[in-house]
Amino acid sequence: MLPIRPEPTTLLAGRYPAAVAELVDAAAIERGERETPGKDPRHVFDFEDGTRLIVSRELIEGAEVTHFSASVDVERVKSVGLGFLDLAVCHFREISGWKGGVKLVLISEGKQIPHWVTVP
Protein backbone atom coordinates (compact mmCIF):
# COMPACT_ATOMS: atom_id res chain seq x y z
CA MET A 1 0.00 0.00 0.00
CA LEU A 2 1.25 3.46 -0.87
CA PRO A 3 1.65 6.00 1.94
CA ILE A 4 -1.36 8.25 2.51
CA ARG A 5 -0.76 11.74 1.09
CA PRO A 6 -3.91 13.89 1.33
CA GLU A 7 -4.25 16.68 -1.24
CA PRO A 8 -6.86 19.38 -1.91
CA THR A 9 -9.57 18.36 -4.38
CA THR A 10 -8.36 20.87 -6.97
CA LEU A 11 -4.94 19.19 -7.10
CA LEU A 12 -6.51 15.73 -7.25
CA ALA A 13 -8.73 16.83 -10.15
CA GLY A 14 -5.65 18.09 -11.98
CA ARG A 15 -4.04 14.64 -11.68
CA TYR A 16 -7.16 12.76 -12.86
CA PRO A 17 -6.35 12.73 -16.62
CA ALA A 18 -3.10 10.83 -15.94
CA ALA A 19 -5.02 8.15 -14.03
CA VAL A 20 -7.23 7.37 -17.03
CA ALA A 21 -4.71 7.94 -19.83
CA GLU A 22 -3.72 4.26 -20.07
CA LEU A 23 -6.18 1.43 -20.72
CA VAL A 24 -5.61 -1.28 -18.09
CA ASP A 25 -6.41 -4.89 -18.98
CA ALA A 26 -8.23 -6.24 -15.91
CA ALA A 27 -7.69 -9.83 -17.10
CA ALA A 28 -3.90 -9.27 -17.05
CA ILE A 29 -4.19 -8.21 -13.40
CA GLU A 30 -6.22 -11.34 -12.60
CA ARG A 31 -3.59 -13.52 -14.33
CA GLY A 32 -0.84 -11.86 -12.26
CA GLU A 33 0.78 -10.34 -15.36
CA ARG A 34 0.32 -6.77 -14.20
CA GLU A 35 0.31 -4.90 -10.89
CA THR A 36 -2.94 -3.42 -9.67
CA PRO A 37 -3.46 0.32 -10.31
CA GLY A 38 -3.44 0.89 -6.54
CA LYS A 39 0.32 0.34 -6.52
CA ASP A 40 0.88 3.20 -8.98
CA PRO A 41 0.67 6.76 -7.54
CA ARG A 42 -0.95 8.05 -10.77
CA HIS A 43 -4.09 6.11 -9.82
CA VAL A 44 -4.22 6.94 -6.09
CA PHE A 45 -6.25 9.91 -4.82
CA ASP A 46 -6.10 10.73 -1.11
CA PHE A 47 -8.70 13.28 0.02
CA GLU A 48 -8.28 15.49 3.06
CA ASP A 49 -11.30 13.86 4.76
CA GLY A 50 -9.60 10.42 4.87
CA THR A 51 -11.12 8.92 1.70
CA ARG A 52 -8.80 7.18 -0.77
CA LEU A 53 -9.92 6.47 -4.33
CA ILE A 54 -8.10 4.23 -6.79
CA VAL A 55 -9.10 5.23 -10.34
CA SER A 56 -8.27 3.61 -13.68
CA ARG A 57 -9.66 3.17 -17.18
CA GLU A 58 -10.02 -0.57 -17.68
CA LEU A 59 -11.01 -3.19 -20.18
CA ILE A 60 -13.42 -5.45 -18.29
CA GLU A 61 -15.07 -8.32 -20.15
CA GLY A 62 -14.53 -6.53 -23.47
CA ALA A 63 -15.97 -3.19 -22.32
CA GLU A 64 -13.95 -0.05 -21.66
CA VAL A 65 -15.02 1.57 -18.37
CA THR A 66 -13.65 3.87 -15.72
CA HIS A 67 -13.24 1.80 -12.58
CA PHE A 68 -12.83 3.23 -9.10
CA SER A 69 -12.63 1.77 -5.64
CA ALA A 70 -12.62 3.47 -2.27
CA SER A 71 -11.20 2.97 1.18
CA VAL A 72 -11.44 5.18 4.19
CA ASP A 73 -9.93 6.34 7.43
CA VAL A 74 -13.13 5.76 9.43
CA GLU A 75 -12.33 8.22 12.21
CA ARG A 76 -11.71 11.09 9.78
CA VAL A 77 -14.83 10.44 7.68
CA LYS A 78 -17.20 10.26 10.69
CA SER A 79 -17.21 14.04 10.86
CA VAL A 80 -18.37 14.47 7.25
CA GLY A 81 -21.96 13.32 7.73
CA LEU A 82 -22.46 11.59 4.35
CA GLY A 83 -22.59 7.83 4.09
CA PHE A 84 -19.23 6.48 2.94
CA LEU A 85 -20.51 5.05 -0.36
CA ASP A 86 -22.17 8.35 -1.26
CA LEU A 87 -19.06 10.26 -0.23
CA ALA A 88 -16.83 8.10 -2.44
CA VAL A 89 -19.08 8.65 -5.49
CA CYS A 90 -19.21 12.38 -4.73
CA HIS A 91 -15.40 12.55 -4.62
CA PHE A 92 -15.14 10.64 -7.91
CA ARG A 93 -17.48 13.13 -9.57
CA GLU A 94 -15.48 16.05 -8.12
CA ILE A 95 -12.17 14.93 -9.62
CA SER A 96 -13.46 13.43 -12.88
CA GLY A 97 -16.30 15.75 -13.84
CA TRP A 98 -18.35 12.61 -14.62
CA LYS A 99 -22.07 13.37 -14.77
CA GLY A 100 -23.26 9.96 -16.00
CA GLY A 101 -24.21 6.98 -13.91
CA VAL A 102 -22.03 4.81 -11.73
CA LYS A 103 -22.73 1.21 -10.80
CA LEU A 104 -21.51 -0.49 -7.63
CA VAL A 105 -20.24 -3.80 -9.00
CA LEU A 106 -18.43 -5.41 -6.09
CA ILE A 107 -17.60 -5.14 -2.43
CA SER A 108 -14.47 -7.22 -2.02
CA GLU A 109 -14.18 -9.92 0.58
CA GLY A 110 -11.74 -9.38 3.40
CA LYS A 111 -11.12 -5.63 3.35
CA GLN A 112 -14.69 -4.89 2.15
CA ILE A 113 -13.54 -2.44 -0.53
CA PRO A 114 -16.37 -1.12 -2.76
CA HIS A 115 -15.76 -1.00 -6.53
CA TRP A 116 -17.75 0.97 -9.12
CA VAL A 117 -17.72 1.39 -12.89
CA THR A 118 -19.05 4.28 -14.93
CA VAL A 119 -22.15 3.70 -17.05
CA PRO A 120 -23.62 5.97 -19.73
Domain ranges of the chain: 9-119
- At residue 2, the pLDDT reads 92
State how far the Cα of 4 lies from the Cα of 29, in Å rounded to an integer.
23
Q: Tell me which amino acid residue 120 is.
A: P
State how far the Cα of 98 lies from the Cα of 11, in Å rounded to an integer.
17
Residue-wise pLDDT for 8-51, tens only, equals 999 999 999 999 999 999 999 999 999 999 999 999 999 998 89
Q: What is the mean pLDDT of the chain?
A: 90
103-106 long-range Cβ contacts below 8 angstroms, 24+ apart: none
